[in-house]
Structure 1
Amino acid sequence: MDTISNRQLTLLRKLQKKKYREREQLFLVEGERAVEQVIQNGTVQVTHLFWDENQQLWKRPGWSERAGQLLSAKIDPQSFREITDTDNPQGILALCEMPPEVALDELSDKQGVVVATDRIQDPGNLGTILRSAAWFGVQGLLLGKGTVDLFNPKVVRSTAGATGTIPFVNVNLEQTLSFFEEKGWQVLLLDTSEHAESLRTVEAAPQTIVVIGNEANGVDPSLMAGRNRRVVEIPHPQKEKQVESLNASIALSIALYALSGQT
């Protein structure tokens, strides 16, 4: 097996930064489980596999076949640690082409649920949101301004291989919600504001957007007003709350589960 070139190593280091990912339209997937899942999904083009030369995963059953199918190169352990995002790298990286954003017209013609993120800043939260959305068959992701980059290494790792499985587009959320409303979409904003309705009372429309807000501040008040928008909350099962609110990704998962039996 060839050793990684200096040019390739420089590229992998640069891909830790968003501006280079956007310029090159490339991103990294790290770890055995995530890389295998991305390859199996087939929705993202894997261009190269890179291996920690000490761990030698390419010699193991299963991975030896992958190493023969895709362009591969080994990396010395120190350099491998420098370009990975974990304390204990698993010995494999996949270099992938970034899928193109979906057109709003195309997404608005679909039936089902679309998830919109309003300034989700924690990479782990966004990764889990994508993973849950893939599980429940969400039709698309509207990534509002202020949301962490979908191809941030921490986000990609948190998706457990679901990256690329759902159409996505980066948007001005206020304008985009209005656009979808004009197309007949119902908008549900997950929030614990004073006038929020219980999620139990909500029926999913054939076309429904679920908006999940910022971890600290919830949904931006400017998004609350709209002709087909409803502010909803997950009802607390006890009279006295032991915690103030749910984690954003967990709240979305509960909402998607609740709506999945109605669509």
Structure 2
Amino acid sequence: MNVLMIEDNESVSEMMQMFFLNEGWDATFKYDGKEGLDTFLENPDKWDMITLDLNLPTMDGMSVCREVRKISNTVPIIMLTARDSESDQVIGLEMGADDYVTKPFSPLTLIARIKALHRRSEIGDHTADGNERSDEQFDVETEHFRMNTKTREAYLDNQPIDGLTPKEFDLLYTLAKKPRQVFSREQLLEMVWDYQYFGDERTVDAHIKKLRQKIEKVGPQVIQTVWGVGYKFDDSGVA
């Protein structure tokens, strides 16, 4: 795995370098937001993962995340935020980050989050049915909606839902493959983010908000809130 860590605290980077080496990963460290973004832009396809601090010199993490997402909707991004910056965490997710880890953090926690996020991305790239499946076959297909996990494409009434990040796509797929079934936030955290629920529902809510915005650009809303419970996919009301 090629990891780009954009972090202005050199002691944190030095600590994580040992853990990355232990995993056999190639890691590049940048201590400035603009420099980190330029490194990504030199070869966007190179990176399997970006960890991104919010408070960076020259260019803050929010801006870096926004610019990365203009180039790539597929590279996974984990934001590193201060423990008490709830608004920053939500905004970071809305900017396109797939997950966040609060500071101070355990290196093993960050490694586990990276592995979980990378594993979900790999599942999207290499579907369980192997290479024999045609790109035109859909894993989810209803009267109004289709999804293909191999091409990572989703359509509502034949209109492509563009710009889905890895987590947004996985979240939509998890809901859509079981239409009208209600999923709690805890269940979605375990199924989509691949880690146990620890009382933080903002990750799910922020991704649902962004997902709805992208769906509404092409048609009626198919992600429904079940108050007091969670969310469900339901396209039965689409005209």
Do they fold alike, i.e. is TM over 0.5? no
Of Structure 1 and Structure 2, the greater helix share is in: 2
TM-score (norm 1): 0.28
TM-score (norm 2): 0.31
Larger of the two Rg values belongs to structure: 1
